[in-house]
Amino acid sequence: MGNPLLDISAVVDKDFLDKYTLKPNDQILAEDKHKELFEELVKKFKVEYHAGGATQNSIKIAQWMIQEPHKVGTFFGCIGKDKFGEILMQKAEEAHIEAHYYEQDEEPTGTCAACITGDNRSLVANLAAANCYKKDKHLDLEQNWKLVEKAKVYYIAGFFLTVSLESILKVAKHASENNKLFCLNLSAPFICQFFKENLMKVMPYVDVLFGNETEAAAFAKEQDFKTKDIKEIAKKAQALPKENKKRQRIVVLTQGKDETVIFSDKVETFPVLKIDPKDLVDTTGAGDAFVGGFLSELVQEKPLVQCVKAAHYAANVIIRQAGCTFPEKPNFN
């Protein structure tokens, strides 16, 4: 469950970046001055559409890693009744995801413009409809809740904490009460800082916590862990109060090209796959891909070491491509 965004990517020129005061390599939320950017991008440049948004990207990667059967993952989120919403549905279908969107007509479908110049890309996200998800209008409906009950593993990016805390809590409590796996991502430093209260309401239900080094540092600071050591942060996050005592929490912290740190009953480190700098195209989506790879093995009840191996493989594939895109089939075993 998360924020479904349609990624609209195009190779643009410097004039376009300047017109909308964009840095060549950046990630921002759209402001009023970016209103026309999305339409102009589609009109002036050759665009590619991809189903995006962090959670949906991860589910898409998990499906790609698993290959068969199709539709192992179900996704909930909110879109608008518009052309972009239709494209999102079509792209989810192509990726073999079971997407059940809450459709409303007050806000347009959320989009993320990827403005590419050379090997840089400037990302401008406009949440719009994604921000309108409602528990009572969608999650609580019998046919949707049945899909939740059917699932074994749940994954929600921290970004969704800004949208519908009550939806997250309903799913998290269901997982905890039924001894199923609930996974959450810290997603961004601003989530750890400004949505700390929401985050900590969900934390007791979290079986697997994902984050990167900057998010981990922000989380540690906000939680007053009094340490900047990533292994210590993982240990302290793992020890936070937990509802379901039948499962130990697993904390998974990535550090870009540096080793991944995992704490369950002890701290373990896993080196990432090496990549030649000239093969590195774009690191956006690497974190989403890492989670997708991890989930693809987790749902098959594989050991932790195999989950991490799949996570590193998926991230390594994604950073060789623009955006969160991938070849037809994975080469992983």
Closest CA to 26 of 156, 34, 198: 34
Whether the CB-CB separation of 315 and 293 falls below 8 Å is answered with yes
Q: List, in order, residues 6 or more apart from 298 with CB less than 8 Å away.
A: 153, 181, 183, 208, 307
Instruction: Look at strands 250-255 and 258-263 and give their pairing.
Output: antiparallel
Q: List, in order, residues 6 or more apart from 191 with CB less than 8 Å away.
A: 158, 159, 161, 162, 199, 215
Q: How many Å apart are CA 76 and CA 87, to the nearest integer? A: 16
| Residue 288 is a catalytic residue | yes
C-alpha distance from residue 216 to each of 189, 234, 267, 321 (Å): 8, 8, 15, 26
Task: Pick the catalytic residue from 7, 207, 282, 288.
Answer: 288
Q: How many Å apart are CA 254 and CA 25, to the nearest integer? A: 21
Q: How far apart are the first and last CA of the chain?
A: 28
Closest CA to 54 of 184, 219, 202, 197: 184
Whether the CB-CB separation of 48 and 87 falls below 8 Å is answered with no
C-alpha distance from residue 313 to each of 167, 309, 325 (Å): 32, 6, 14
Retrieve residue 19's tokens: 């017109």
- CB atoms under 10 Å from CB of 35, counted, come to 12
Whether the CB-CB separation of 283 and 27 falls below 8 Å is answered with no
C-alpha distance from residue 236 to each of 168, 188, 196, 262 (Å): 23, 19, 16, 12
Q: Which residues in 202-301 belong to E strands, given as ranges? A: 208-212, 250-255, 258-263, 267-270
Catalytic residues: 288
